[in-house]
Amino acid sequence: MPIPIDRYLTITPLAGVHETWYSGTQSSDAVTRAAPYFSTTADTRLSRRFTQEGGATFTHKIEPGVTYEYLPHVRQDNPSYDALDRLTPKNLLTYSLTNRLSAMIGDGETRRYVEVGYARLTQSQHVASSPTGKPWSDLRGEFIARTAVPVTTELDVDVFYNHAQSAVSAFNTDLKVNLTKDFFFSIGQRFTHQGQVAVRGDLFNPMTLNEVLFQSQKTNFYTAEVGFALPYNLYAVARGYLDQGTGQFPEMNYGLYYVGSSRCWGAGIMLNQRPDQTEFAVLFTLGGGGFSDSPFSGLYRGLFQRLGLDIQRLR
């Protein structure tokens, strides 16, 4: 729970235990693993409002913050199925500086604030021994620009800078356009250099930069997304990657979802297609009651949300 220290400073402590139970068919004894976790965040928020000629109003917010996290070494000999099973020790400080720019815009007869600009710098520092071999992580920069005229458009940029090599280690961009509430498309690119690449977040903190992956070769992809609402309460989405070097599609994703009457229930099928394998999942949702999950339903949830559909709640 956030604890206000004074007008400008807030401290947010967090402590808990991440417990995992394993049950195997070859043994009647259940195996457990406990991982104690502690963190505390100190942050503040400064804001100023500007009024231009003609009555246009802008608000600029600056939000610096620092987070300390501690996760001791835990056993890693249990089966690894997903991110829940892979826990890397943390003795980490994460620094962030966020800038937000909001504007008052008209929406019919009402007026509301819309965040038209966003910029955040993030970097982590290992207090003790580093699992990556470096005391500092790559510097991450996130930049977003939005406009509602003439159509709703958003430009996202996510870049990592390796100061030890004085080079960009990863660079991603996305241009998202919502032509109507029933149709959207996006285009973008993904670049990753050869060598160590920072992992974005983990199970405990989406901002932390505690781990790295080794990229065996440089990658450069183009991406595209599209989604539209069809007649008879059907919604369709698709996403694809195009390898700039080979001209091949290493991955294609397709999703089709049906919403029942009164949005009480829904069902859909999701297909992931790669050169060496094809995966599919069937999803069922009861409005307000629950849903069946799959390892890649998070991807499709984000795509369908751009059509105003939450496939986990139907609200």
Per residue in 124-154, pLDDT (tens digit) is: 999 987 777 789 999 999 999 998 778 889 9
173: phi > 0 → left, psi -120 to 50 → alpha, else beta; which? beta
pLDDT, residue 112, reads 72
pLDDT, residue 291, reads 80
Domain boundary among 217, 242, 265: 217
Q: How far apart are CA 300 and CA 255, in angstroms?
A: 7
Domain boundary among 161, 189, 217: 217
My answer on whether 57 and 79 are in the same domain is yes
Distance of CA 172 to the CA centre of its chain: 13
Into how many domains does the chain fold?
2
Confidence of residue 86 (pLDDT cuts 50, 70, 90): confident
CA distances from 243 to 98, 223, 246, 248, 249 (A): 33, 9, 6, 5, 6
**pLDDT greater than 70 at residue 81:** no
**pLDDT greater than 80 at residue 93:** yes
**pLDDT greater than 70 at residue 42:** yes
Give the rounded percent of residues in the chain with a pLDDT score beyond 90: 54
Strand-pair partners of 92: 69, 126
**pLDDT greater than 80 at residue 83:** no
**pLDDT greater than 90 at residue 28:** no
**pLDDT greater than 90 at residue 96:** yes
CA proximity to 189, closest of 241, 147, 153: 241
Residue pair 251/273 in contact by the 8 Å Cβ criterion: yes
My answer on whether 57 and 81 are in the same domain is yes
Bond preceding residue 4 cis, omega within 30 of 0: no
My answer on whether 268 and 200 are in the same domain is no
- The amino acid sitting at 32 is T
Q: How far apart are CA 315 and CA 311, in angstroms?
A: 8
**pLDDT greater than 70 at residue 24:** no
Q: How far apart are CA 300 and CA 254, in angstroms?
A: 9
Which range scores top for mean pLDDT: 77-81, 131-135, 188-192, 293-297?
188-192
Q: How far apart are CA 229 and CA 56, in angstroms?
A: 35
233: phi > 0 → left, psi -120 to 50 → alpha, else beta; which? left
Confidence of residue 78 (pLDDT cuts 50, 70, 90): low
**Weakest mean pLDDT among 13-22, 24-33, 44-53:** 24-33
CA proximity to 103, closest of 54, 56, 164: 56
pLDDT, residue 288, reads 72
Q: How far apart are CA 228 and CA 183, in angstroms?
A: 4
Give the rounded percent of residues in the chain with a pLDDT score beyond 70: 92
CA angle at residue 195 from 135 to 65, to 5 degrees? 40
pLDDT, residue 12, reads 94
Q: Give 137's DSSP letter.
A: P
Domain boundary among 158, 191, 217: 217
My answer on whether 257 and 127 are in the same domain is no
My answer on whether 29 and 155 are in the same domain is yes
CA distances from 142 to 116, 178, 266, 272 (A): 14, 21, 35, 28
My answer on whether 185 and 305 are in the same domain is no
My answer on whether 159 and 70 are in the same domain is yes
Q: How far apart are CA 49 and CA 142, in angstroms?
A: 23
My answer on whether 267 and 156 are in the same domain is no
CA distances from 272 to 74, 175, 215 (A): 33, 23, 23
My answer on whether 259 and 180 are in the same domain is no
My answer on whether 195 and 272 are in the same domain is no
Looking only at the bridges linking them, the beta strands covering 219-230 and 234-243 are antiparallel
CA proximity to 303, closest of 269, 254, 261: 254
What is the mean pLDDT of the segment spanning 29-52? 87
**pLDDT greater than 90 at residue 108:** no
My answer on whether 58 and 198 are in the same domain is yes
Q: How far apart are CA 140 and CA 231, in angstroms?
A: 42
Q: How far apart are CA 138 and CA 199, in angstroms?
A: 10
Residue 232 structural domain: 224-315
For residue 96, give the 3-state DSSP assignment: strand
pLDDT, residue 22, reads 72
My answer on whether 104 and 31 are in the same domain is yes
Mean pLDDT of the chain: 88
